[in-house]
Amino acid sequence: MELLLVILIGVLYATGIFMLLRRSMVKLLIGLILLGNGANLLIFLLGRITKGAPPVIDSAAKFFTDVYADPIPQALILTAIVISFGLQAFAIVLLKRVYVLINSDDLDDLNTPEEEDI
Amino acid sequence: MKSTILKTASIYLLPILLLFSIFILLRGHYFPGGGFVGGLIAAIAFVLHSFTHGTEATLKLLRIHPSALIPVGLALAAISMFAPMLNGQPVMTGLWFDQPVPVIGLIGSALFFDIGVYVVVIGVVLTILFTIAQYSG
Amino acid sequence: MTDNTLILSVIIHLFTAIVLLALWRKTVAQRIISVVGSVVAMVIAIRLFTAVWDNGILTMQAAGWDAPFGITFVADVFSSTMVLLTSFSGIAVSIYSATGVARGRMLYGYFPILHLLLMGLNGAFLTGDIFNLYVWFEVIIIASFVLMTLGGRRAQIEGSVKYMAMNVLASTFFLTGIGILYGITGTLNMADLSLKIAALENRKLVDIVSIFFIVGFGIKSAVFPLYFWLPSSYHTPPSAVAAIFGGLLTKVGIYALFRVFTLIFIPDEFLRTLLVVLAIFTILTGSFGAVIKNNIRRVFSYLIVCHIGFMVGGLGMYSEIAITGALFYLIHDMMVKTNIFLIAGLIRKLRGTMNMDKLGGLYAEYPLLSLVVALVLFSLVGIPPLSGFWPKIYLFEAGFMDAQYPLLVAIIIGSFVTLYVIAKLWAKVFWKNQPTLPAEENYTDEFKPMSAFRKSLLVVPIVFLMAIALYIGLAAENVALVAKHIARDMKDMTPYIEAVLGTNVSP
């Protein structure tokens, strides 16, 4: 499971960076999404994947003896997912607006000089 | 969309999904669920309705524009976050009523926070999706 | 010491934003409430600063979960100074926006987003938890995306694509760093991380993680190879927005660099050299970029990059006196950079353009206003005894003590180029006569026909920030006292760690 996740994270980061380096804006966005997913999986992996009980101590017991799963990575990932949901929704609307304005998907077309520039 | 089956089904699905979203919202304190997921489910119910009946019809059904829900939900969440401060406790400390309410169980400030999140999520998701829908339509 | 009211600086902006959202499209009421909210925030920030100055570090454990398990909010002198300066910039921008921002932008939620941005800034300064810092950074960048694109002119949209892509990338780097950090230490509380990282055997892994943080914060604070998004986007939004961006957003990156690299990763020889080299190139590229540009706001954008180098260089030298200098510079820079973008907006109102070749004759027409502007520009350059001068003395002293001669040369070049650029700007915009333009480019003075009240809404923030910059320059010994206090705290973080984790920490 760990090895599979390690390979998957590597693939996600690699494809994400490859997509970022393309000139198309949609591919740029896809690259950012892939990178974000890679980061989320990385947190999940590094938070130790253990199958176990939730870390809640029974009121009768004094110590926790079972194997327990760390809930913090999941909380972190959930937060990161919610944040990236907002960011991606914004980015899609922004790119659509850009497409309407300049009628092109190419990042090189984003350099209209303003009238007051040199 | 012109599918009669989907159109008829969505009318029945809307109340069921809304009820389910409230169920998810209320079980969120001890079990998987909560305001965010509940809000998303409720938003999906309205989005399904807008698929079949058109965005205008859904807006008419909602009576208020979904963006008006955002400040309401934010205010509810913020007040339940900061209410413990009046008590001299740190923010977000859970305040609980002594007597359990039938069906729901113990009620605390966490529930009101979740309801606030639920309302904000409905407002934000519907605003985003309806804006995109009207923009491209 | 525990103080549950330190979070008020965050709450006040949240509640202001909620009220403003409820008043959607009522622009007159929004303007009034925005200013009122900013004033209240300033009062709270002043109270917080005096409380921290008198009583030492204040902490608040959110929801009553003790550190290191819950999220801790910490106000030490550094954080509370930043909150105070943010409130000054916030109030100036919110007054300026009342006339400086077009009504169309206000209709689409300019003011609520502005206050959410300020809330994010205050939260980032006050948090003591590294993941919470990430969340506040996201609040800041989402709010800044909206402010950046609001209005939707073509240049603005184009600039914001670059801005968005680079900032999201920076957040991903930051998040990756946090993930690895949690994997190797099992904690997120910054004070606890400081202890756990110091005790860690595997130093190579720590170095690798710290590079993730340098890249993440480096993009946000516009350090040398990562700054290209800044000059290509900061000249596009309305001036009030550019002022908040230029004055505060890059500085929150600098704040995070200082916080993380004094508390969690103590820079070793390699990291210090890396930071110094980055600082040298940041200063040089930023200043040379400023020389060739002709648009006032583009010049100022490059000057931001140039002056970021001074602060990173101070961190790179890492002696107490160097950090004092860098922090003094940070305090001065936040006030002056906000102000110069407001001035750029005012010049646009006067002449309808920001191209230096088409401007001129402002001194003849508005002598008093020009004097105010001159004081601000001189503060930026650092003509003694104004505010930009004193931090450089500390930086020079530290540079000679550490024998960092390349950095010293870069700082001298950076200072002289700043002087040259500002002198050119002054001569071209204020002293030379108004050039005769072709008839179709004739300007309209939007400022002159305004009522006295509307005029004062534009001028008062500039005078207010100028007064603060003057205070920083003329009462430099007080500001130096604050900067030295922070630098001393940074060199010895035990008080911070003890305040967060309780008093059971053995040195």
Of A39, A46, A112, the CB nearest to C154: A112
Of A82, A86, A93, the CB nearest to B132: A93
Look at residue B137 in the predicted model and tell me its pLDDT: 52
Ordered alpha helix ranges (H), C127-236 = 130-149, 154-185, 190-198, 203-221
What residues in B contact A96, CB-CB < 8 Å? 132, 135-136
For residues C164-190, average pLDDT: 91
Look at residue C362 in the predicted model and tell me its pLDDT: 85
Confidence of residue C322 (pLDDT cuts 50, 70, 90): very high
Chain A nearest-CA distance from C417, in A, is 20
pTM for this one? 0.93
List the single range of A114-118, B95-99, C53-57 with lowest mean pLDDT: A114-118
How do the domains of chain B map onto residue ranges? 4-136
State which residues form the domain around A21.
2-52+68-106
Would you say residue C34 has pLDDT above 90?
A: yes
Average pLDDT, chain C: 89
Chain C contact present for A91, CB below 8 A: yes
Interface test with A, best of C150, C175, C180, C182 (most A CBs within 10 A): C175
Look at residue C25 in the predicted model and tell me its pLDDT: 83
Of C17, C21, C63, the CB nearest to B90: C63
What residues in B contact A82, CB-CB < 8 Å? 36
Chain B contact present for A23, CB below 8 A: no
List the single range of A65-79, C90-104, C288-302 with lowest mean pLDDT: A65-79
Tell me the C-alpha distance between C54 and C437, whole Å.
Answer: 59
Chain A contact present for C293, CB below 8 A: yes
Would you say residue A118 has pLDDT above 50?
A: no
Would you say residue C310 has pLDDT above 60?
A: yes
List the single range of B8-17, C229-238, C473-482 with lowest mean pLDDT: C229-238
List the single range of A12-16, B74-78, C232-236 with lowest mean pLDDT: C232-236
Look at residue C303 in the predicted model and tell me its pLDDT: 93
Chain C nearest-CA distance from B5, in A, is 39
Which residue, chain included where needed, has tokens 């089956």?
B5
List all residues 6 or more positions away from A14 whose beta carbon is below 8 Å from its beta carbon.
Answer: none
Taking an 8 Å cut-off on Cβ atoms, the answer to whether C22 and B94 are in contact is no
Look at residue C505 in the predicted model and tell me its pLDDT: 54
Look at residue A114 in the predicted model and tell me its pLDDT: 58
Name the residue with higher pLDDT: B132 or A114.
B132
What residues in B contact A89, CB-CB < 8 Å? 128
Look at residue C385 in the predicted model and tell me its pLDDT: 85
Name the residue with higher pLDDT: C286 or A114.
C286
CATH code of the domain containing A87: 1.10.287.3510
| CB pairs B-C closer than 8 Å | 42
* Residue-wise pLDDT tens digits, C269-283: 889 999 999 999 999
Chain A contact present for C158, CB below 8 A: yes
Chain B contact present for C184, CB below 8 A: no
What residues in A contact C353, CB-CB < 8 Å? 116
* Residue-wise pLDDT tens digits, A40-96: 999 989 887 777 777 777 777 777 777 777 888 888 998 999 898 888 888 888 888
Chain CA centroid to CA B104, Å: 17
Q: How many domains in chain A?
A: 1
* Residue-wise pLDDT tens digits, C342-356: 999 998 888 888 888
Would you say residue C381 has pLDDT above 50?
A: yes
**CA dist list (Å): C96 to B67, C40, C131, C238, C307:** 27, 17, 34, 11, 25
Which residue, chain included where needed, has tokens 């906000």?
C338
- E strand or H helix at B5, and its extent? helix B4-27
List the single range of B93-107, C193-207, C308-322, C377-391 with lowest mean pLDDT: B93-107
**CA dist list (Å): C138 to A85, C145, C167, C317, C334:** 12, 10, 9, 30, 21
Chain B nearest-CA distance from A94, in A, is 11
Look at residue C503 in the predicted model and tell me its pLDDT: 65
Chain B contact present for C64, CB below 8 A: yes
Which residue in chain A is spatially nearest to B36 when comparing CA positions?
A: A82
Look at residue C451 in the predicted model and tell me its pLDDT: 84
What residues in B contact C11, CB-CB < 8 Å? 78, 82, 91
Look at residue C20 in the predicted model and tell me its pLDDT: 93
Query: C428 near C359, Cβ under 8 Å?
Result: yes
- E strand or H helix at C72, and its extent? strand C72-75
In a domain, A112, yes or no: no
* Residue-wise pLDDT tens digits, B57-108: 888 888 888 888 999 999 999 999 888 888 778 887 877 877 777 777 778 8
Instruction: Enter the tokens of residue A82.
Output: 């919610």
**ipTM, two decimals:** 0.91
Confidence of residue C169 (pLDDT cuts 50, 70, 90): very high
Would you say residue A112 has pLDDT above 90?
A: no
| CB pairs A-C closer than 8 Å | 102
Interface test with B, best of A78, A79, A85, A95 (most B CBs within 10 A): A85
Look at residue C238 in the predicted model and tell me its pLDDT: 87
Chain A contact present for C152, CB below 8 A: yes
Which residue, chain included where needed, has tokens 């004062």?
C456
Chain C contact present for A108, CB below 8 A: no
Chain C contact present for A35, CB below 8 A: yes
Taking an 8 Å cut-off on Cβ atoms, the answer to whether B136 and A82 are in contact is no
For residues C466-480, average pLDDT: 92
Which residue in chain A is spatially nearest to B124 when comparing CA positions?
A: A86
Query: C288 near C378, Cβ under 8 Å?
Result: no
Would you say residue C507 has pLDDT above 70?
A: no
What residues in C contact B89, CB-CB < 8 Å? 4, 64
Chain A nearest-CA distance from C397, in A, is 39
For residues B37-57, average pLDDT: 90
Look at residue A16 in the predicted model and tell me its pLDDT: 94
